[in-house]
Amino acid sequence: MKCNIRFIIIASACLMALQGVVYAGESAQDIAIPSITSAYTNGSKSYMLALNEVSSSPQKEGAVNAAQAAEFEPATFSGSNAHKYLGLGTLAMVVATALAPKPSEDAVTQAQKDEQESSMHARFGRAAAALAAATVTTGLLAHWDDFHFEDGLSDPDNMHALLGTVGALAMLAAVSQAPEGGHAGIGAAGGVAMAVAVKLTW
C-alpha cells in the first residue's frame, strides 16, 4: 500500500515535471514568433485579417475597423506568475520529498531525532509545505475575482482553489505529524490534490 502511494506520487510528479518541460518549449516558440509589425506578419494575410489591419483588405459597407493594440510587453513579474511558479515549485518539492532517502522512524536518542529533523526528506517536506502555503496565498491575492462560490464545483477555478487549499493543508498536516506513521499518506494525498488542481487550470 505504502509502495503504491509512493508510486502514484512519483508518477503524478513526473507528469507535472513534463508539463514544465512542455511549457518551457512553448515559451521558446513564443519568443521565436515575430512581432506584429515585423516583415513576416506583414506578409501573412491570415495574420493581417485576424488582426483587422486597415491595409489588409477592403472593408464591407458599414463595418467598423478594430485595429490591434499597440506593442506591449507583459510584465515578467506579476501576481499570477508568482502563483504559477510557486505552484510548480511545490510539485517539484513534493517529488524531491518522495525521492529523498527516509530517515529511520525509530528515533530514541536526541541525536537520532536531530538527524531525523535535518534529513533531506524532512527538509524537502517542510519546503513543499511552505511553498504550498505561499502558493495558496498568492493565488488568493492574484485571482480573487476568478472564483465564485455560486458557480459550484463544476467551475474549474473553484475546483482549482478547493483542491489547492486542501492539498496545502494536507501537506502542512503531514509535516506537523511527521515522523509519526501515516504522515506519508497525508502528504501524498496533498501532493496529488495539488497536481490535479494545477492540471485543471493549466
Partner 1 sequence: MSKIHIIGALVGALIFNSTNVSAEETLWGWLADFQRTKEIKPATDNQYLKECGECHFAYQPGLLPARSWDQMMAANELKNHFGVNAELDKNTSQAILNYLVDNSAEKSYYKRSRKIALGIAEGEVPLRITEVRYIKRKHKDIPEKMVKGNNDVKSLSFCNKCHTQADKGVFDEDTVSIPNYPDWDD
Q: Which residues bind partner 1 (CB under 8 A)?
A: 3, 6-7, 10-11, 14-15, 17-19, 22-23, 26, 45-47, 49-52, 56-64, 66-72, 74-75, 78, 80-81, 98-99, 145, 148, 151, 154-157, 199-202
State whether the Cα torsion 95-96-97-103 is positive or negative. positive
Question: Considering the complex, what minimum distance in angstroms separates the CB of residue 47 from partner 1?
Answer: 7
Q: Which of residues 78 and 112 has its CB atom nearest to partner 1 in the complex?
A: 78
The least distance separating partner 1 from the CB of residue 110, rounded to whole angstroms, comes to 29
Q: Which is nearer to partner 1, 6 or 123 (CB)?
A: 6
Rounded to a whole number of angstroms, the minimum distance from the CB of residue 34 to partner 1 is 13
Exposure string of 63-91, with b = 16+ CB inside 10 Å and e = fewer, is eeeeeeeeeeeeeeeeeeebbbebbbbbb
Min dist. Cβ of residue 109 to partner 1 (A)? 27
User: If you search the block for the grid coordinates 506584429, which residue do you land on?
Assistant: 36
